[in-house]
Amino acid sequence: MAESNRKTIGIIGAGVAGMAAAWDLLKAGHRVTIFEAESSPGGLAGGFKDPAWDWSLEKFYHHWFETDRDLLRLSEEMGVRDRIIFPRPKTSYWIDGKIVRSEISPSALFLPLSPLAKLRFALAGAFLKFTPDWKTLERFTAHEWFLKYMGAGGYNKFFRPLLIGKFGEEYQKINMAWMWARIHARSLRLGTFEGGFQAFLDLLAQQLQERGAIFHFNTPVECIETRNGQPALIAGGQTYTFDQVLSTSSPGLLLRLTPELRDTPYGKQVAELKSMGAICVVLALKQPLLTDGTYWLNLPAATTNKRENTFPFLALVEHTNWLDRRHYGGDHIVYCGDYAPRDHEYFTLSDDELIERFIASLPVVNPAFSPDWIRKAWVFRAPYAQPIPYVNHSERIPPLKTPLPGLYWASMSQVYPWDRGTNYAVEIGRRVAGMMLDELNQSQNR
């Protein structure tokens, strides 16, 4: 590309979406600068590493699917596809005081349901797995669809408790297309990168730097403005003007950073987007907790009041029942994960208080558990982690191009109908990069 045609592009956020967009923008010959508030790349997919471990561990449990085409395509372009592995774990439900295996297998014949309820459960699941029509499904709530087609038996035993645990008081408002996306395209084998997700993210950032990207870590953006018809960022006390800017922030942060957007129809549409926060207590144990080999144990919620449930969190994940614990110094790694509104007490309790609250329920699944099994514990919280998709949600999503000149926005709230995840962060990052390149090409041809 001729030097005169190279444009400057600023990206807010060194998460997967921002770095995937940078990959294509750099490939097209443009100059890319990435601003990241944290000290390393990754965003919600990022990890940490205990001194005793060889591999990093994700702050919030993550995995890939064999159907994650966009992620796998990017890994091939990076030359690292051979470092992605897909072990098959055991996933289960906690039902009626015991563990019941939940992934597709002959054990499905022994689900604690009547024969008719079992048949309706299977037919509804098969329909969701094979129908491509999510658009019709978004007109219904998952609550009403499951009751009508699956019946109260299967819904009340399996999916209703999970919806309550995931979305709390909003659970009856979630549209069915969201549930379709969680069933339709997922695989039984779950994938990770050798060395952990952070190893993949660090390698992606390294390759971007080798292509010319400039990273500013520990540099939160303070404001997005329009100056002389171009987007400008204020970060670290300095002003940077670009031909284009891509923000990969949460809806709330986008509006806080961009005063010019707040009173526009676009800004009001952004403000209407709702989401849940995520909480993870991570435990390094001296002994295994789920001794039957279960990796992921879905925990039921009978009420939206977390204090009244048997378990105060949604998922119990024994990471080392999926990946070899030798990567983690012999520790048995357990996640206690949950979602909650950002004003929930889980975001104000101290780390010690939250750990104590969560581990108090662990003897229910393993009566031998004792707090002295814990070698070390960590707490991670993210106020923006799970968008809430209401009925006809596709009509509520703001476009990737904002009304401000040169400013784009790509976030988890816009990957719908798909659920948030690394693959769809890659997809939306590359999609918005394509739009940005089209705009630059059109301006050059005028």
pLDDT at 107: 46
pLDDT at 106: 46
Q: Kindly report, residue by residue over 2-39, the tens digit of the pLDDT.
A: 666 799 999 999 999 999 999 999 999 999 999 999 99
Q: What percent of the chain has pLDDT over 90?
A: 83
Q: In what order do the strands lie in the sheet with 98-101?
A: 98-101, 90-95, 294-298, 315-318, 332-340, 275-285, 374-387
pTM: 0.94
Q: Kindly report, residue by residue over 306-339, the tens digit of the pLDDT.
A: 999 999 999 999 999 999 999 999 999 999 999 9
Instruction: Say if residues 411 and 251 touch (Cβ distance below 8 Å).
Output: yes
* Sign of CA pseudo-dihedral 78, 427, 164, 307: positive
Q: How far apart, in whole angstroms, are the C-alpha atoms of residue 430 and residue 131?
A: 26
Q: For residue 294, what are the β-bridge partners?
A: 90
Architecture of domain 274-387: Alpha-Beta Complex (3.90)
Give 1 or 132, the one with higher predicted confidence.
132
Domain spans of the chain, in order of start: 3-86+194-272+391-445, 104-184, 274-387
Instruction: Say if residues 206 and 78 touch (Cβ distance below 8 Å).
Output: no
pLDDT at 403: 97
Fold of 3-86+194-272+391-445: FAD/NAD(P)-binding domain (3.50.50)
Confidence of residue 344 (pLDDT cuts 50, 70, 90): very high
Q: Which residue, among 367, 289, 285, 301, has the nearest Cα to 339 in the 3D structure?
A: 301
Mean pLDDT for the chain overall: 93
pLDDT at 109: 53
Q: Kindly report, residue by residue over 99-130, the tens digit of the pLDDT.
A: 988 765 444 555 778 888 888 888 888 898 89
Q: Kindly report, residue by residue over 196-233, the tens digit of the pLDDT.
A: 999 999 999 999 999 999 999 999 999 999 999 999 99
